[in-house]
Amino acid sequence: MEETTVLKEMKILLKRIALAGAVIAIGAQLFRPDRVNPDSDPALSIRRDPMVTPEILGLLDRSCFDCHTHETRWPWYSTLTPVNYLTVRDVEEGRKHLNLSNWMSQSPTRRASALERMADEITGGSMPLAPYVLMHAEAKWTDAEKQAFLDWAYATQDSLMRPNE
C-alpha cells in the first residue's frame, strides 16, 4: 500500500514539474531578440563585385549569406526561444567577422585578406558551421564546389594584390 502512495505522489510531482516547464517554455516565447536585417547599400554588396562569377555567387548565397550579410533568411526555428537567441548571436558574430553586404566598401587589400581567411575556413572545414549545415543540408559543399571556390578565391586574391597596370 505504501508503494502505491509513493508512486502516486511521484506522478503528481512529475505532472507539476512538466506543467511548470510548459508554462516557462510558453512564457519564454514572450521574450525574443530582434531578428534584424539592417539596411545596406546594394552597390556595396559582393553581388556587385565584377570578379564574382555566378557559380561562386550561388555558393555564397546558398551557404554564407544567412550569417554573413544583411540578407539573412530567418528560418522558422529562429522564432522559438531559446533557439532564437543562439541564431541571432550566430548571425551577429558572422556579420562582425565577415559582412559580404559591405564587401565593396573594403579596400582591395582587405578583400584579399578576407578571401584568404575564407579559403582557410573552407579548407579547414570550419565553415559553414556544422549546426547550420545540420539544419540546412543544401549549405554543404561538395569537394568540387570547395575546389571551385578556392580556385576563384586565390585567383581573385592575386588580382586584388597586383598593382594597377
The set of cell numbers assigned to 46 is 559582393
Phi, psi dihedral angles at 60 (to 5 degrees): -65, -45
Per-residue model confidence (pLDDT) at position 45: 93
Per-residue model confidence (pLDDT) at position 135: 85
Per-residue model confidence (pLDDT) at position 95: 94
Name the H helices within 49-129.
Answer: 54-63, 65-68, 83-97, 108-124
Per-residue model confidence (pLDDT) at position 31: 67
List the pLDDT tens digit at each of the 165 positions of the chain: 577 888 888 888 888 888 877 776 677 566 676 777 888 899 999 999 999 999 999 999 999 999 999 999 888 887 788 878 888 888 899 999 999 999 999 999 999 999 999 999 999 988 888 888 888 899 999 999 999 999 999 999 988 888 665
Per-residue model confidence (pLDDT) at position 70: 94
Per-residue model confidence (pLDDT) at position 48: 94
> How many Cα atoms occupy the beta-carbon half-sphere of 34 within 13 Å?
3
Q: What is the pTM of this model?
A: 0.76
